[in-house]
Amino acid sequence: RRAKTVPTKMKGGLVLALLVACLAGSEAFAPAGIPLLARSASSRAFSTPIGHGSAGNTLFSAARASPLRAQRTAPRMTVSLPADTPLKVGICGATGAVGKEIIGVLETRGFKVGELRLFGSARSAGREVETKFGKVTIEDFDLERARELDVVFVSVSGDFSKEWCDKMAEGDDGTIVIDNSSAFRYEKDVSLCVPEINADSARKGSKKVIANPNCTTAIGIMALWPLHKKYGLKKVLMSTYQAASGAGAEGMAELFDGAKAVVDGPEGTVAPNKHFAHPLPFNLIPHIDVFQDNLYTKEEMKVTWECQKIMNIPDLPVSCTSVRIPTFRAHAETIVIETDKAINPDEARKVLAEAPGCVLVDDPKGLKYPMPLTASKAYGVEVGRVRQSVVFGDKGLEFFVCGDQLLRGAALNAVLVAESLMQPVGTDFNPKL
């Protein structure tokens, strides 16, 4: 069919109109995956590259471009699960550290499971696992078997997720997929969900793939969000002390075996290292994930990108230093914030004590404060050491948080996402933990 001819006098006007639309930030003419040329300060979306934020912001101008990509927005849909019907549930990576915890969370939360399918490696296939829902045989992953389910939790690898998650979820007959990898976190049309904060982003998604945040983000943001709602966040400075569990079961085993080798060996013995950059027992490693062009690591930048997206504050300056420490599980974080409004520590403690998912542990005289020892295997995020910042004064607060990396940082959050889909759009999600 022949295209309609554009009159010569109109050609210049059309070109100018297209250029103006692009400069104004219209996504109608923006190729998928390419950041727009410019946006007004009030219309910046998650696709705005770090370094293209407000003028003079040295933190953002020094950072590498955010992976929150500009894409055409897909049509919205309601993503939901029935509240009173036993569900067909699948877990990919069921024999890994997070996969095992997901089974445990489903059991302890009383999640209504009508059928449980556990997908594992070829090495694990055929092995039987005892669960509260009956004895389940681990099977090789099969796409059609997965698509028969109501919801599938994925905790394998980014490559696995990129290959299979969309295929499991596509179409009206596809399943809901809750993915623990980083494969989809920065896709504009994929919900990055901490359900106590942004459940509706998952309920009103453009697709049935929902991303779980990085474990460090998921723990710290439980305290940041209620403080932001009350006082408004202006800056966030964070140092994290992350357990071996962040590297999975292999990392935990390396710490255990290495510590035993040092204790049992002659003086001066240094533990071997395979999964960490250096020996972890009796050591600290200020390096998690790969270094970026701005000399932050990717783990550190994940905290920046994900806090901005989850809380819907795309220009929030967040700086993080991540350190691997020789504990088995539960990440700890020192957080310093500057706020828009004056913040009183006593009032802030009350805000944190009442916040969903937070447990206030703040009694310095009684030597009570958050620790990995007390936060491990617990659902709540401990918050303590709350005090006025000597740097930011009456608009600043410092505090310490500690949360289980395998639970709040992964398995628990994933199951809570599924629970939040059982409630209507617009409903605040405040689960009992």
Residues in the chain: 433
Q: What is the 3-class SS of 154-192, one letter each residue?
A: ECCCHHHHHHHHHHHHCCCCCCEEEECCCCCCCCCCCEE
Distances (CA, A) of 153 to 101, 180, 413: 11, 8, 11
- d(CA 253, CA 217) in angstroms, rounded, equals 24
Dihedral, CA atoms, 273, 258, 297, 318, nearest 10 degrees? Answer: 180
Distances (CA, A) of 292 to 65, 159, 388: 10, 20, 33
Instruction: Give every CB contact of residue 81 below 8 A, 6+ residues apart in sequence.
Output: 87, 150, 151, 176, 418, 421, 422
Which residue out of 215, 307, 358, 402 is catalytically annotated?
A: 215
- d(CA 39, CA 221) in angstroms, rounded, equals 27
- List the beta bridge partners of residue 242: 324
Contact 158, 144 (CB under 8 A): no
Which residue out of 52, 165, 331, 402 is catalytically annotated?
A: 331
- d(CA 56, CA 368) in angstroms, rounded, equals 41
CB half-sphere exposure, 411, CA atoms < 13 A: 29
Identify whether 331 is a catalytic site residue. Answer: yes
| CB atoms closer than 10 angstroms to residue 5 | 6
First-to-last alpha carbon distance for the chain, in angstroms, is 62
Identify whether 320 is a catalytic site residue. Answer: no
- d(CA 49, CA 283) in angstroms, rounded, equals 36
- d(CA 333, CA 32) in angstroms, rounded, equals 36
Catalytic positions are: 215, 331
